[in-house]
Structure 1
Amino acid sequence: MGNAVYHLVAIAVGAVVGVLGVALHVGVERFSAAWPAFLDTTLGLDGLPLYAAAALVAVTMTLVSLWLVRNFAPEASGSGVPEIEGAMEGLRQVRWHRVLPVKFVGGFLSLSSGMVLGREGPTIHIGASVAKAASDLMKWQSEDMRAMLAAGGAAGLAAAFNAPLAAVLFVIEETRRQFPYSARSYIAVVLASIASAIVTETLTGNRPYMLLEASAIPYGWLPAFLVLGVILGAVGVGFNHTLVWSLDHVRRLGERRSYYIFPTAVGLVVGVLVFVRPEATQGGELLAVQLTREGLPLAMLAFIVLLRFVMTMASYSTGVAGGIFAPILALATTIGLCYGTAIESVTALPEHGHAAFAIAAMSGLFASTIGAPMVGMVLVLELTGAYSVLVPVMITAIFSNMTSQALGGRPIYEILLERTLAIEAAARAAAAPR
């Protein structure tokens, strides 16, 4: 088989993933706005009846999403990125015929409910599933199949955020241990990302999803971004530890009683928060832009940080389909705004200083939690269009990653994959005859 055929398939995979990614994105965006408007405006509900109805809608979507995952595709739980990395390493299988529908429908429901989850997890997993389907059709095995999985995953990330360059870097940096690097496989990843981005831009427009206005920062302010990076490195280590701790505790609760108890509680709370505290719900891409422009006081920003941190842990621990990229970026934005506001209480910030700290914080927290500083830098710039703050973004990301490593932090997807493999090994050992 020639390279031309392989690369044509990669382009086709990227285009299909682009269509599915846009369908998921637009569907979630519209439905997550439509059902609250229906309860509030169309039905005219208010007060306790409104909160009760919203809680019922959100918990229904949450439980249906979880039911689909648990009964038809357990591997579709959560982000899906660890599953892809495991498959590229030969440790997991991508059963595309069941993951594809469950990840799409389950992701649509969980994201639309208001859960603090990102759409990038489902689209990356959907992308890898499309790639596996193409590989099965072409009867590819081993290296060709693994490289196509990477191309599909990259196409999914490109579709989620319209960030094709970050998608390519994600494969190179995040899956560096698993990716079968060669000119053939690398070109396939680039072509799939480009095809996905072209489809995404054609259907949704060529505009950064988190467009933020920022101007160049005087170099005298660069030490402040270094300190921000150190802070975010510590926060990232705490984020990863708390996420795994939450997953373990919720799993033990499910084993003792029912796997639906905790998701029910979270779904009910999310439904109420959609109206009471909307900033504590959904992935948070639009929230990040909104908060940067509002100029909220430090106490309110700190409250939003705490609220979103708790809701991110709770939402991801339910086991429904959904990613953590977007929640990490929104949480980081709020932390960056807190940092900038605290500095402003002492001295005046440069022009667009708040936006610069918010943008740099996104790359910093991404670098410490995901463990991919280059991806964090490029992803944030593609998302915001704020190329004028490139140097502060780079400084924040690299010092955050250095701090995370110094504190013993590890990439969250690596941790989650090891956790999944350990749970399955323990289950097999328990089921084996003595």
Structure 2
Amino acid sequence: MGNGGYHMVALLVGVAVGLAGVAFHLGVEGLTAAWPALLRDTLGLSGTALYSAAALVAATMAIASLFLVRRFAPEAGGSGVPEIEGAMEGLREVRWKRVLPVKFVAGLLSLSSGMVLGREGPTIHIGASIAKAAADLTRMSSEDMRGLLAAGGAAGLAAAFNAPLAAVLFVIEETRRQFPYSARTYVGVILASLASAVITEWLTGNVPYMLLPASAMPLTALPAFLLLGMLLGATGVGFNRTLVWSLDHVRRLGLATTFYLFPLLIGLIVGPLIFLLPEATQGGEVLAVQLATENRPLAVLAVIVLIRFVMTMASYSTGVAGGIFAPILALATTIGLTFGTALENVVPLPESTHLALAIAAMGGLFAATIGAPLVGMVLVMELTGAYSLLVPVMLTTIVSNMVAQRLGGRPIYEILLERTLAIEAAGQPTPRRRFRLRRPRSDLTGLAAPDTVPPKPQQ
């Protein structure tokens, strides 16, 4: 296939991913709002009856999501980003015929149940699956197929966050070891991301998803962002280690009982929280904007940080379809606000510093957990539109990434891959040892793997 043909396929993939991404986004928003309104407004439930019904609905959606994953497409569990990077490495196979419907429907159910999960992971997985379908239909070579997988994943990220530049950089920084660099594949990634962004803006509008009006910070405020970066670096390392700990323990529970028990419990908890404490539910994009524009007390912010942290671990460990980018960004925003509020009690801060710290914290925690500081910087800019804060965001993000590396932190997808390989190699229900991949010392970015490894369904 010539360059023109390849680029045309990449462009069409971007269009298809944009349409699928918008459909998924609108579907999640619609269902998330519909069922609570049905219980409270249409049926007129209140008090104990409302909370009980909400618990049952959320638990049913969580169980249904996990059933679809475990029964029809085990690789559709979790975010899907590890699956794509694993496929580009040659360690996974993208079975698009089963992944596409399962990821879409299972992701719709899990995200709409109220669990703390993001839509960007499923959208990236859906995008790469569409790309694999196109590669199969056009009988592409292995190298072109790998390039098109990256293009489809980038288009998915562009559709999820309306962030085409961050999507292109995600391929450059996150998959630099796996991506087959050439002029045609690189242009293909750009064309797919651009086409997806055009479709997304055409159908949903050209407005940043987390628009936060922020003013420039004086240079005298930069030490605060330096301290925030150090805090987020340590937090990111703790986040990754806690996530793996949660996955291991939930897996042990599932093997000892049933893999549906934990999602059932989380659904029963999340349902009532949608009405009682909405800050503890859902991906968090709307929450981040809401908190950043309010002046909540320090104690309240600290409680929200703790609850969001716990609910992110619990939701992601269930094994249902759902991403982690959005929960990380929402958690980071709350940490930034908490840090700013606490710091203000010690030293005077310039006006709007709280908002600036909240925005910069998104890039910092992203860099410390995902291990992609450049993507974190650009993603924050495209999400919030706060380009006047570029220098504070860059400082916070790179310091956070440096501290995370200094503390021995590693990208979460690399950790998850080694966990998966250890389980499969040892044939044990839980990892007995840590399996380390051999890779060049210069490689600082992780390789992804499935978020959970449920047993294969019976043939």
Normalised TM-score (structure 2): 0.92
Shift of 1:34: 1.2
Alignment of 1:340-379 (within 5 A): 340-379=340-379
Which residue pairs with 2:232 in the alignment?
232
Q: Distance in 2 between matches of 1:18 and 1:420?
A: 31
My pick for the range that moved more, 345-354 or 311-320, is 345-354
Does residue 159 of structure 1 match 2:130?
A: no
My pick for the range that moved more, 9-18 or 137-146, is 137-146
My pick for the range that moved more, 175-184 or 127-136, is 175-184
Spell out, residue by residue over 1:181-203, the C-alpha distance to the aligned partner (whole angstroms, 9 max, x if none): 11111100000000000000000
Which residue pairs with 2:337 in the alignment?
337
Q: Distance in 1 between matches of 2:205 and 2:427?
A: 47
State percent identity of aligned pairs: 75
Alignment of 1:24-173 (within 5 A): 24-173=24-173
Shift of 1:366: 0.1
Does residue 182 of structure 1 match 2:182?
A: yes
Shift of 1:415: 1.3
Shift of 1:78: 0.4
Contact kept in structure 2, 1:83 and 1:417, CA below 8 Å = no
**Which ranges of structure 1 fall in alignment gaps of 5 or more residues?**
none
Which residue pairs with 1:391 in the alignment?
391
Shift of 1:428: 9.3
Q: Distance in 2 between matches of 1:355 and 1:217?
A: 10
Contact kept in structure 1, 2:221 and 2:349, CA below 8 Å = no
Spell out, residue by residue over 1:59-89, the C-alpha distance to the aligned partner (whole angstroms, 9 max, x if none): 0000000000001110111011111111000
Specify the SS of the correspondent of 1:341.
helix
**Which ranges of structure 2 fall in alignment gaps of 5 or more residues?**
431-454
Does residue 263 of structure 1 match 2:263?
A: yes
Q: Distance in 1 between matches of 2:323 and 2:425?
A: 24
Which residue pairs with 1:21 in the alignment?
21
Which residue pairs with 1:221 in the alignment?
221
Specify the SS of the correspondent of 1:408.
coil
Alignment of 1:399-414 (within 5 A): 399-414=399-414
Corresponding letter in the other structure for 1:290? Q
Q: Distance in 1 between matches of 2:29 and 2:186?
A: 33
Contact kept in structure 1, 2:161 and 2:209, CA below 8 Å = yes
Spell out, residue by residue over 1:314-342, the C-alpha distance to the aligned partner (whole angstroms, 9 max, x if none): 00000000000000000000000001101
Q: Distance in 2 between matches of 1:347 and 1:234?
A: 23
Shift of 1:33: 0.9
Q: Distance in 1 between matches of 2:140 and 2:424?
A: 27
Shift of 1:429: 12
How big is the alpha-carbon RMSD for the aligned residues of Structure 1 and Structure 2? 1.3
Which residue pairs with 2:452 in the alignment?
none
Shift of 1:48: 0.5
Q: Distance in 1 between matches of 2:52 and 2:428?
A: 42
Specify the SS of the correspondent of 1:294.
coil
Corresponding letter in the other structure for 2:275? F
Alignment of 1:295-334 (within 5 A): 295-334=295-334
Over 3 Å counting, the alpha-carbon distance change for 1:37 and 1:283 in structure 2 is same
Shift of 1:223: 1.1
Shift of 1:351: 2.4
Q: Distance in 2 between matches of 1:419 and 1:127?
A: 25
- Equivalenced residues, count: 431
> Could you list the runs of 4 or more consecutive aligned residues of structure 1 that deviate by over 6 angstroms after TM superposition?
428-431
Q: Distance in 2 between matches of 1:134 and 1:417?
A: 27
Over 3 Å counting, the alpha-carbon distance change for 1:261 and 1:294 in structure 2 is same
Does residue 2 of structure 1 match 2:40?
A: no
Q: Distance in 2 between matches of 1:396 and 1:23?
A: 34
Q: Distance in 1 between matches of 2:148 and 2:36?
A: 40
Q: Distance in 2 between matches of 1:423 and 1:164?
A: 36
Shift of 1:347: 3.1
Q: Distance in 2 between matches of 1:53 and 1:420?
A: 37
My pick for the range that moved more, 380-389 or 408-417, is 408-417
Spell out, residue by residue over 1:245-289, the C-alpha distance to the aligned partner (whole angstroms, 9 max, x if none): 000100111111100111100010000110110010000000000
